[in-house]
Amino acid sequence: MSADKHPLSHVRGSVLAVLAACVGANALAAQTVDVVKVVSKKSASKVQLPGEFMAYQSVAVRAKVTGFVEQVRVDRGSVVKEGELLATLVAPELTAQRIEGEAKVLSMESQRAEAEAKAVSAESTYEKLKAASQTPGVVAGNDLVIAQKAADAAHAQVRAFEESAKAARSTVQALKDMES
């Protein structure tokens, strides 16, 4: 297909005519440009602008207990991994609570031993009264019921002290876990 028969050939010619009319004949002529070689130099002037660096990620760090910082193992801006020890705290109140809890465990175990002795005594009294009640008129029926209830109460007291000692041991263990 020749240039004259091309479907857009008349558009091309009219566009060139419009450009020549709008810009002028000089616009279609070649333009000259000055070219300079690039050289690296230090800047003669300085500009100070206020700015602020923002952290990529920010995390709030809180201690489980109140205490004093004994050692800091990282600096501000250090990259750390999950579970890494950042600082060591000393918590005298926590140590005092643990020692108090251990004393409470010993106290509960002592009270449990005392309650066991009373339970054995109450059980023995009940068994002797029960044996004596086999003979009519020796022991009143009410005295036998009272002795049985006293033995049951003494056994319940032993179980209560066992549970209290167990709870105190759990508290001590939790405090030990916090200290480490």
Query: Where are the domains positioned within the chain?
Result: 93-179
pTM (2 d.p.): 0.53
E strand or H helix at 36? none
Q: How sure is the predictor about 15, in pLDDT bands with cuts at 50, 70 and 90? A: low
145-161 pLDDT per residue, tens: 999 999 999 999 999 99
Q: Select from 98, 115, 178 the least CA-distant residue to 150.
A: 115
80-108 pLDDT per residue, tens: 888 898 888 888 888 899 999 999 999 99
Longest dimension (CA), the chain: 146
pLDDT above 90 coverage of the chain, percent: 33
pLDDT at 47: 86
Burial class (CB in 10 A: 0-12, 13-18, 19+), 164: middle
Q: Which whole number is the average pLDDT over 15-23?
A: 56
Lowest mean pLDDT across 18-22, 41-45, 165-169: 18-22
State how far the Cα of 146 lies from the Cα of 133, in Å rounded to an integer. Answer: 13
Ramachandran sector of residue 106 (left: φ over 0; alpha: ψ -120 to 50; beta: rest)? alpha
DSSP single-letter state for residue 158: H
CB 180 within 8 A of CB 85: no
Q: In the block, which residue shows the tokens 């009410």?
A: 142
